[in-house]
Structure 1
Amino acid sequence: MFILVDDLGWSDLGFMGNPVYQTPNLDLLSKESVVFTNAYAPAANCAPSRACILTGLNTPKHGIYTVGSSERGKSKFRKLVPTKNTTILKESFTTLGEALQENGYTTATMGKWHLSENPITQGFNINIGGTTAGHPKSYFSPYKNKALKDGPKGEYLTDRITTEAINFITKNKKNPFFLYLPYYTVHTPLQGKEKLVKKYKAKVNGDDRFNAKYGAMVENMDANIGKILKSLKELKLDENTLVIFTSDNGGLASVSSQFPLRAGKGSYYEGGIRVPFLIKWPKEIKKTKTTEIPVSGLDIFPTVMEAVNNQKKDSLDGVSLLPFLTKNKEIKERALSWHFPIYLQAVNKDKDQARDSLFRTRPGSVIRKGKWKLHEYFEDKGIELYNLDSDIQEKNDVSKKYPEKVKELYKELKAWRTKRNAPVPKELNKNYKE
């Protein structure tokens, strides 16, 4: 079972240190799991991250870099012509669903798909609620979702998807199944249940780092995950069910502060790409722990494949975490890289914490290796270097202090791009005005 929450930030859960939003079920799950505190989404927003996770391939290989157009923000402020974005995941790519179908699993996706018109053609036997849409029109029925029948008026979407998920698990309890549960929550529109919103208004008490409607959505999401975990236990499936929980990207900074991380969704500072991540599989993972080893959503595909005794690699960009999880074998130090040859406009210039007030993201690439993280920006040939061990907030650019480290990481980043034929935009935008 793979739970992928939409736009849930690294610091938005109790077990990750959030002082306001209550997540008792996930807090308990974290104590029964291996928790990765340095886990990263493969991209800073929805569609590219999901394409990466579900194919095991980084963005240059499938060409999905953002949602919609790569020409986001006003043209006069864009110095370069960005790489054209791909919006649909081509069926030539093998998804995690297809790979598991080939291994005898009944597969279902329930919630947000966002990669094509219908996931049934890309590895899923059952689709409930998944279309090209990136967010729901309403969290309360009627949903106006062509892949989901409306429930009683006022029914809550996250509750409904959970009910469908439990029904699927119950029906398939005697067979191998893969449940991909990409909840629409906690993506906008911010719509929580009235009682919970009232509760969080009192808890937030005017503190603009938090949001009462968002808190209501987080707590409801947690309660529903609790229902599913309880169902697994009652069906005696919990010991041998591999459960993965994470988010597709960082939280939206204008909605919920990602402090102590800088920025949020859409940015390649830590707040935009660092996410909560845990794995539970009692039958095979005998020791629970919390680890600071950096991992990526790209690692999910190879991990699941090894878990079902399929060593098929297909030039995947992640690594299997299974030897570390089950045998405590060391994960060799490696670089994690991101490429975003596109623009993404600002949401809130005061809360975005971007390089400038106009864009959350300008074209560039990022590499993290060990404690070091290097940003490269193509417009101004800007380089930034951060020591994440001492500066998790990415406040202090130390590129001038450590020129040899810059040289080393930059060389590795360029080699990574070359190997993957990653496009670097160079054409000047004729509408640009300095």
Structure 2
Amino acid sequence: MNLFPRSVLHSLIHCLGFFLASVSFPIHASEKPNIVFFFIDDLGWTDLGYMGSEYYETPHIDSLAQQSMVFTDAYANAPNCAPSRASLMTGKYTPRHGIYTVGDPRRGNNKVRKLEPIENETVLADDFVTVSEALQSNGYTTASMGKWHLGSDPRTQGFDVNVAGREWGSPSGGGYHSPYHYPELVNEEPGEYLTDRLTSEACQFIEDHKEGPFFLYLTHYAVHTPIQGKEELVTKYQQKTKTERHNNPKYAAMIESVDDSVGRVLDAVNECGLDENTIVVFFSDNGGFGGATSNAPLRGAKGMLYEGGIREPLLIKWPGVTSPNERCSEPVIGIDLYPTFLEMTDTPTLSGVELDGLSLCSLLRDHESTLDRPAIFWHFPCYLQGKGDPHGGPFRTTPAGAIRMGNWKLIEWFETGRLELYNLDSDLGEETDLSKSHPEDLKRLHSAMIQWREAVNAPIPTTPNPQYRANRN
């Protein structure tokens, strides 16, 4: 519980941050690096040209990849939107903030849920000091443009500027085409495309704040449902030869609009003379939606703890530090970006803030180095309706947890206690369950996951659902 009103706490954070910055980090504001952070919604691991797609066209993102460090084993903190974003903002695993899923944790037919899920928070509590608040304390102007999904206004969580951010998880009103009504973004005329407009707002922000430093969180609603592309791009992909893996013209059009956004924003950075002092990050909040794209060769899709639901594209360009065309295979996760941004900008960790993530700066300086971390974890004690349950049920996922340790990955299903073990080095598609043939590895990973759950007070659902019917099918 906060001892001060939110406004007073913000003032104290700002004053403390400016004092620490002036004492410990005597850097002129213009020398602090800007950060442009593209955060895409529901983009799958293979939905980009540089990741192997032969149908979707992403020349600007592919060019950025050639200038960046490419993280091949990067993960979201959850298989769907809100918990992933809460972990990104706080640098904490989901049990720390209590946002486990989107909305109701009981999504799906009540009669086929064996357990009562853990209750879910839908708003990020004011007690947490977000990465944007930390950067504000170091003199950064901060802007959130696009999807927020953690409450009614990101300006209560450390952003100076909010364009189109509310508690909504997908575009409101007419979807991606105007007319629409968002905070600081209203257009009554039909036809404007939301991704394009957010891009224009981002470019104007860069121009207005080119004296820096700034943190631009361009968090596109795309490529989340509804699947709506610009008509001319949809027509283009309807005429293009489809592939077995990727063959959705409307989704392809949405991805091209995201790619155009990356190109336009980076052009604005260059035109303002900021290219050598701007860090660029490109990431996604969870795996591709199975109704729109394929995540193959990964198993599963959005809403699942299989690789297709949580493994993401991640690019980081840090001028003067990263080298072009470098690839890093170290497992990293969304909570790592908070401490990474702090180290990149010489921003002190504010008093009382504890982070679960690790800074990636050592990897960015030397892609062959490793992080001193035994494992990364997921905790999803909720239900999501939809196809995908490997055990024949009607859910994308039942309550579950997962751990990745080295090349090994374990998934535990809380309804049944079932354990699945995979070696991602030899079985990226998680086709062969090794839980019976590798009992020592199974025990090692499961013990580590239990210890982690105890450390973060991760609740496991155990209460039977009184309306459950044993015959699920």
Structure 1 residue corresponding to 2:342, chosen from 297, 302, 305: 305
Structure 1 residue corresponding to 2:307, chosen from 256, 267, 270: 270
Shift of 1:145: 2.7
What is the rounded CA distance, in whole Å, between the counterparts of 1:198 and 1:131 in structure 2? 32
Structure 2 residue corresponding to 1:417, chosen from 453, 456, 464: 453
Contact 1:136 1:145 in 2 (8 A): no
1:322 partner letter: C
Q: Match of 2:266?
A: 229
Shift of 1:330: 3.1
What is the rounded CA distance, in whole Å, between the counterparts of 1:104 and 1:355 in structure 2? 52
Q: Match of 2:414?
A: 378
Cα 1:151–1:224 change in 2 (3 A) is farther
Shift of 1:231: 1.2
Q: Match of 1:344?
A: 384
Q: Match of 1:90?
A: 125
Q: Match of 1:389?
A: 425
Shift of 1:176: 0.6
Q: Match of 2:72?
A: 37
Tell me the secondary structure at the aligned position of residue 384 of structure 1: strand
Shift of 1:264: 0.5
Q: Match of 1:119?
A: 154
5 Å-filtered alignment, 1:207-246, equals 209-246=246-283
Tell me the secondary structure at the aligned position of residue 411 of structure 2: strand
User: Does 2:360 align with 1:321?
Assistant: yes
Q: Could you give the per-residue CA deviations for residues 89-117 of structure 1, whole angstroms, max 9, x where no partner exists? A: 00111111111101100010000001000
Cα 1:151–1:232 change in 2 (3 A) is farther
What is the rounded CA distance, in whole Å, between the counterparts of 1:213 and 1:389 in structure 2? 34
What is the rounded CA distance, in whole Å, between the counterparts of 2:51 and 2:189 in structure 1? 35
Contact 1:185 1:221 in 2 (8 A): yes
CA RMSD of aligned residues (A): 1.5
What is the rounded CA distance, in whole Å, between the counterparts of 1:195 and 1:354 in structure 2? 39
Q: Which moved more, 1:206-215 or 1:107-116?
A: 206-215
Percent identity, aligned pairs only, is 50
Structure 1 residue corresponding to 2:186, chosen from 130, 144, 149: 149
1:433 partner letter: R
Tell me the secondary structure at the aligned position of residue 275 of structure 2: coil
Structure 1 residue corresponding to 2:166, chosen from 104, 123, 131: 131
Q: Match of 2:38?
A: 3
Where does the alignment leave 5 or more consecutive residues of structure 2 unmatched?
1-35
Contact 1:55 1:301 in 2 (8 A): yes
Shift of 1:205: 4.5
Shift of 1:284: 2.8
Where does the alignment leave 5 or more consecutive residues of structure 1 unmatched?
none
What is the rounded CA distance, in whole Å, between the counterparts of 1:190 and 1:160 in structure 2? 17
Q: Could you give the per-residue CA deviations for residues 63-102 of structure 1, whole angstroms, max 9, x where no partner exists? A: 0000111011111101111000100000111111111101
What TM-score does the superposition give when structure 2 sets the normalisation length? Answer: 0.88
Shift of 1:285: 2.4
1:368 partner letter: R
Structure 2 residue corresponding to 1:408, chosen from 424, 444, 447: 444
What is the rounded CA distance, in whole Å, between the counterparts of 1:254 and 1:215 in structure 2? 13
1:273 partner letter: I
5 Å-filtered alignment, 1:154-193, equals 154-193=191-230
Tell me the secondary structure at the aligned position of residue 239 of structure 1: helix
Structure 2 residue corresponding to 1:77, chosen from 112, 115, 120: 112
Shift of 1:429: 0.6
Contact 2:53 2:246 in 1 (8 A): no
Q: Could you give the per-residue CA deviations for residues 191-221 of structure 1, whole angstroms, max 9, x where no partner exists? A: 1011110111222549574311000000111
Cα 1:127–1:388 change in 2 (3 A) is same
Contact 2:92 2:355 in 1 (8 A): yes
Contact 1:263 1:354 in 2 (8 A): no
What is the rounded CA distance, in whole Å, between the counterparts of 1:165 and 1:205 in structure 2? 33
Q: Which moved more, 1:167-176 or 1:145-154?
A: 145-154
Contact 2:134 2:347 in 1 (8 A): no
Tell me the secondary structure at the aligned position of residue 240 of structure 2: helix
What is the rounded CA distance, in whole Å, between the counterparts of 1:152 and 1:166 in structure 2? 21
Tell me the secondary structure at the aligned position of residue 203 of structure 1: coil
Q: Could you give the per-residue CA deviations for residues 147-170 of structure 1, whole angstroms, max 9, x where no partner exists? A: 421164201101100000000000
Tell me the secondary structure at the aligned position of residue 422 of structure 2: strand
Shift of 1:19: 1.3
What TM-score does the superposition give when structure 1 sets the normalisation length? Answer: 0.96
Q: Could you give the per-residue CA deviations for residues 355-396 of structure 1, whole angstroms, max 9, x where no partner exists? A: 434111111210001110000011111000001111111111
4+ residue stretches of structure 1 with deviation over 4 A?
204-209
Shift of 1:298: 0.9
Contact 2:163 2:182 in 1 (8 A): no
What is the rounded CA distance, in whole Å, between the counterparts of 2:232 and 2:206 in structure 1? 30
What is the rounded CA distance, in whole Å, between the counterparts of 1:288 and 1:20 in structure 2? 22
